[in-house]
Amino acid sequence: MRLIERYLFRQLLGPTLLATAALVALALLARSLSEFDVLVEQRQSALVFLKIIMLALPQLLAIMLPLALFVAALVALNRLHTEQEIVVCFAGGMSRWSVISPAMRLAVIAALLSLVSGLWLQPWSARQIRETSFEIKADVASTLVQPGQFTEPGPGLTVYAQSIDRDNKIQNLFIHQDLPNGGASTYSAREAEIATRRGEPVLIMRHGSNQQFSRQGVLQYTSFDEYTFDLSSMVKRDELLHYKISDRYPHELFFPDLTQEWEQRNKDKMLAEGHSRFASPLYNIALMTMALAAVLGGSFSRMGYGRRIAAVGAAAGIVRIVGFGVQAACEDGAWLNVLQYMVPLAAMWWGLSQIFRQKVSRRRASKSIKPAPAWTGAA
């Protein structure tokens, strides 16, 4: 790149990075609020919470990057045009393609990053989130006890706890269990905690008692300082981890295992997701060309381009919404997948046609040279 093109590239890169960081931070904040129950209700550590939030970054970045690129390009290009820096570029002999090439290079780089992320990074992070959620769901400590609520974590088992402190100490625990012989057993403990012994989860109760009723109605009462209650029967070992469509890699989407009933039933949805992984990066280039068209697609104005930018901004929003709608429609018909590529390509064609519609006019002014009048002065 020439010096002036590197300057234009830097003027676009800075706002793009700032806009991307701002939009992704806002999206992460919204995601953290939706995942806050991991800390409150499921009582997981802050490290697990941060892991889930950070693993959501590739998905959020793929959505926010085209929008950030569009907003940053509008801000930077509008400033360069109103300060007549782009006019100076045209006056210096640069073609329109030379002026827009730094912006197009930036859009292509963003598209390649989105493509790599969509093909490999996004499914990997989605699988990590799915596996972490599966581990949380299988965590006995998070499903057995809900403070202030009666829960039934297993058949014939009812658990109640008054509260759980920050050290995961369960206060005032009550357990009612139906016995196989037709009787019932009730445990109450002042304090309890969940631990692991020999790889199996157990509930250690302290300072409590046990009341056991036989089928014949005989009551047996026992008090204890510490009692270990086996929880291994509540662990769901037969439940399998199932990856959703968004968790699949491209080869799994385009070449599903049709011997599996689920994949055979959802093959059209998987194909639509696969084409979306390749079509979505094109929106980076499409929205960049629309931003260029908003600023360079008309005549120069010292008053700014507010109306033109607002109109193109609304059109860009419509294009992205239509893209999401087309992806959803492709789940019902594989032949519609070509539309996933047509929408961004059509937006790209419109933007470039607006940019190159008005060519820089270089008129040759023919000047008539008139002889200078003779100065008749007095001798």
Confidence (pTM): 0.74
Percentage of residues in the chain having pLDDT higher than 70: 83
Give the model's pLDDT for residue 300. Answer: 58
Is pLDDT at 50 greater than 90 in this prediction?
no
pLDDT band at 362 (very low <50, low <70, confident <90, very high): very low
Is pLDDT at 62 greater than 60 in this prediction?
yes
Range 201-222 average pLDDT: 83
pLDDT band at 375 (very low <50, low <70, confident <90, very high): very low
Helix (H), strand (E), coil (C) string for the chain: CCHHHHHHHHHHHHHHHHHHHHHHHHHHHHHHHHCCHHHHCCCCCHHHHHHHHHHCHHHHHHHHHHHHHHHHHHHHHHHHHHCCHHHHHHHCCCCHHHHHHHHHHHHHHHHHHHHHHHHHHHHHHHHHHHHHHHHHHCCHHHHHCCECCEEEEECCEEEEEEEECCCCCEEEEEEEEECCCCCEEEEEEEEEEEEEECCEEEEEEEEEEEEEECCCCCEEEEEEEEEEEECHHHCCCCCCCCCCHHHCCHHHHHCCCCCCHHHHHCHHHHHHHHHHHHHCCHHHHHHHHHHHHHHHCCCCCCCCCHHHHHHHHHHHHHHHHHHHHHHHHHCCCHHHHHHHHHHHHHHHHHHHHHHCCCCCCCCCCCCCCCCCCCCCCCC
Give the model's pLDDT for residue 326. Answer: 93
pLDDT band at 365 (very low <50, low <70, confident <90, very high): very low
pLDDT tens-digit readout, 6-48? 888 999 999 999 999 998 888 888 888 877 776 665 666 678 8
pLDDT band at 138 (very low <50, low <70, confident <90, very high): low
pLDDT band at 108 (very low <50, low <70, confident <90, very high): very high
User: Can you give the residue ranges of every domain in the chain?
Assistant: 3-137+245-355, 145-234
